[in-house]
């Protein structure tokens, strides 16, 4: 078993944690880099990436892989769910009051050991709903009611 070095809360890590936990958001490394540069102008993008990876490995933060987009980070390390907007990619926390641990509900194929799961809800944020409604109204006004709209949702 490899020996792990003690985890020190360096000024860079402290600044990242404060930026990440200062508000309810799910920033990318680029977003955090822009915020941190105001406080630590000499910090490099590589330092941001390495520290985010290390803090996620330590369980201080969560790393969110939103399928095809840049990884996002969450300062709330406790288990919770997210909803992702299909229009703009916005990611928000979502409250789920039903069953919290779904592992006992699945019957994995032979040979699998299920150790966890990722569950993401999808939909349209309020701004994208408004934009879509305005587009629909504009199309109706212009007489384009027969125009086929692209599919918004992936059915699974």
pTM greater than 0.75: no
Q: Return the DSSP state at 41.
A: T
User: Where are the chain's structural domains?
Assistant: 8-77, 79-156
CATH of 79-156, one of 3.30.1490.190, 3.40.630.10, 3.30.365.10, 3.30.360.10: 3.30.1490.190
By CB neighbour count within 10 A (0-12 exposed, 13-18 middle, 19+ buried), where does 23 fall? exposed
Query: What pLDDT digit, counting tens, does each position of 50-76 carry?
Result: 999 999 999 899 998 876 568 899 998
Q: How far apart are CA 44 and CA 47, in angstroms?
A: 5
Average confidence (pLDDT) over 91-116: 79
Give the confidence band of 146 by pLDDT, cuts at 50, 70, 90: low
Comparing 126 with 98, which gets the higher pLDDT? 126
Fold of 8-77: Arc Repressor Mutant, subunit A (1.10.10)
Average confidence (pLDDT) over 79-105: 81
């Amino acid at each position: 078993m490899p020996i792990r070095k003690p985890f020190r809360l360096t000024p860079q890590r402290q600044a990242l944690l404060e930026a990440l936990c200062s508000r309810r958001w799910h920033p990318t490394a680029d977003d955090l880099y822009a915020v941190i540069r105001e406080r630590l102008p000499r910090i490099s993008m590589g330092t941001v990436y390495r520290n985010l990876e290390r803090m996620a490995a330590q369980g201080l933060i969560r790393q969110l892989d939103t399928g095809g987009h840049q990884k996002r980070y969450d300062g709330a390390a406790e288990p919770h769910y997210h909803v992702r907007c299909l229009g703009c990619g916005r990611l928000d926390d979502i409250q789920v009051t039903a069953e919290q641990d779904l592992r006992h509900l699945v019957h994995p194929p032979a040979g699998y050991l299920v150790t966890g799961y990722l569950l993401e809800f999808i939909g349209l944020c309020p701004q994208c709903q408004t934009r879509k409604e305005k587009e629909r109204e504009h199309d109706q006004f212009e007489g384009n009611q027969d125009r086929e709209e692209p599919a918004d949702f992936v059915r699974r």
